[in-house]
Amino acid sequence: MRRAAQMVPYYSRLFAERGWDPQQAEKYWPKWPVLSQQMLQERRDELVAKDVEKSNLRLGASGGSTGHNKTFYHGREYGQSKAAAVTHSDTIAGWKPGHRIALLWGAPPRVLSTVRPLSPPPPLRSLRKNQRLYNSYDMSEARKGEYHLKLSRYRPDIIIAYAGAVFEMARFLKSNRLCPDYPSKSIISSAETLSEPMRLQIDEVFGKPIFNRYGSWEVGLMGFECEAHTGLHMAFTHNLIEVVNPGSLEPIWDQQGDILVTTLGEPDCPLIRYQIGDVGIMTRRLCSCGRNSLRLREVSGREMDFISTPGGGRIHGAFGLSAFYGIEKVRQFQVVQRKLDRIDVRLVLAAALSKDEEARIRSVFRERLGPDVAFQIRIVDRIDPLPSGKRAFLVSELQ
């Protein structure tokens, strides 16, 4: 914080304006302003410390859940700090050096400009890390079949996957009555919200422990599950996480609030109390595993994971999963909020739904959405991932 107050133009100006003493920066923590996503875009270059050569930075980009591009810098120490945090949590998920890893993942984040590459190119890196990439952007029925054959031969110890991608894979395997004999250790799920129905389905098909994880392109790993699977331990060597009341910015415990992130492994371009756009519940109660870090009991999804209702209510989009659970004919689905009072439910079907199945889906939606929201079931041939490559179960067209 002292370094930020003295060396980072955005923060040194803020300190000057408020008459704060940079030598005692930590004293002002309770009053330290939140950095919004919009501020990160507008002030991106002012968030780089004065003593850092821009050529030593990497400019990263992320589509985010809105499909709008965000750009941000990563400094010289970021990669190592992130790798340390990830290795720590991989180890807790059963990883050991030499294990085979299958990544069911999108392409790595686009690096917009690098003067000097900071790490070996992806193919070399994969070889060194003993991992293979299966592109989760491309998951047609044929491709899923091909992945199953390849994975059966490769026999990974660990699968690291977008939550939605491994869920799709599980649905595919189950509906084709295929029993995977991989992975041998565990599944690490990340990048998207892993809801309880998704976890049940993945568990049923693969029968191996699932370790949920929470991270983002801007700040890397923020939380990870341990063997107890009761919430996400804070990745405290890499990021400090707070959950605050959205109005007062006071920390709140055991109830939902906005997630703020402070990067600890990023002295070149620190983000302090960055409002990442997610909500969660933080608890101080100790985990049964004995690790005494704070835990996020729940990350209830991104801003976009909610359906808004005319009465001002917000319904988490994952409820859609429960409507389709156990209906094998539903290959893929997406809930699209067209207007405040209009929802489209897009379905990709393997065969026509029976009257009972359709009635069950309708009753779940009717019950959750209430009487003020009209919804329509639309049968489609395919549902493409968002520009970011993520598979969104919920798309909002509201502004």
Buried/exposed 273-289: b ≥16 CB within 10 Å, e otherwise: bbbbbbbbbbbeeebee
Nearer to Zn ion, 8 or 226 (CB): 226
Length of the chain: 399
**Is residue 374 involved in binding Zn ion (CB under 5 A)?**
no
Nearer to Zn ion, 88 or 291 (CB): 291
Could you tell me the smallest distance in angstroms from the CB atom of residue 285 to Zn ion?
11
Q: Is 250 exposed, middle or buried (0-12, 13-18, 19+ CB in 10 A)?
A: exposed
Question: Which range, of 24-32, 291-299, 324-332, 391-399, touches Zn ion by CB under 5 A?
Answer: 291-299
Could you tell me the smallest distance in angstroms from the CB atom of residue 283 to Zn ion?
11
Could you tell me the smallest distance in angstroms from the CB atom of residue 237 to Zn ion?
16
Nearer to Zn ion, 143 or 291 (CB): 291
Question: Which range, of 163-171, 223-231, 330-338, 378-386, touches Zn ion by CB under 5 A?
Answer: 223-231
Which of 226, 269, 279, 343 is close enough to bind Zn ion by CB under 5 A? 226
Could you tell me the smallest distance in angstroms from the CB atom of residue 215 to Zn ion?
17
**Is residue 107 involved in binding Zn ion (CB under 5 A)?**
no
Angstrom distance (rounded) from CA 321 to CA 345:
12
The count of chain residues that interact with Zn ion, using the rule CB under 5 A, is 5
φ and ψ of 128, to 5 deg: -65, -35
**Is residue 286 involved in binding Zn ion (CB under 5 A)?**
no
Footprint of Zn ion on residues 110-169 (CB under 5 A)? Answer: none
**Is residue 350 involved in binding Zn ion (CB under 5 A)?**
no
**Helices 141-154/163-175 angle, 10° precision:** 90
User: Of 215, 199, 132, which is closest to residue 163 (Cα–Cα)?
Assistant: 199
Question: Which range, of 87-95, 210-218, 287-295, 296-304, touches Zn ion by CB under 5 A?
Answer: 287-295
Question: Which range, of 10-18, 38-46, 219-227, 305-313, touches Zn ion by CB under 5 A?
Answer: 219-227
Nearer to Zn ion, 124 or 228 (CB): 228
Question: Which range, of 280-288, 301-309, 361-369, 388-396, touches Zn ion by CB under 5 A?
Answer: 280-288
Nearer to Zn ion, 56 or 283 (CB): 283
Could you tell me the smallest distance in angstroms from the CB atom of residue 344 to Zn ion?
40
φ and ψ of 359, to 5 deg: -65, -40
In Å, the largest CA–CA distance within the chain is 70
User: Of 375, 371, 372, 367, which is closest to residue 394 (Cα–Cα)?
Assistant: 375
Could you tell me the smallest distance in angstroms from the CB atom of residue 58 to Zn ion?
32
**Is residue 289 involved in binding Zn ion (CB under 5 A)?**
yes
* Helix intervals (H) in the chain: 2-7, 9-18, 37-42, 78-92, 122-129, 141-154, 163-175, 196-206, 319-324, 355-369
Which of 127, 228, 286, 374 is close enough to bind Zn ion by CB under 5 A? 228
Could you tell me the smallest distance in angstroms from the CB atom of residue 289 to Zn ion?
3
Angstrom distance (rounded) from CA 165 to CA 163:
6
Angstrom distance (rounded) from CA 386 to CA 86:
26
**Is residue 287 involved in binding Zn ion (CB under 5 A)?**
yes
Beta bridge partner(s), residue 336 = 344, 395
Contacts of 156 (CB under 8 A, 6+ apart): 99, 100, 101, 102, 132, 182, 183, 184
Q: What is the binding site for Zn ion (CB under 5 A)?
A: 226, 228, 287, 289, 291
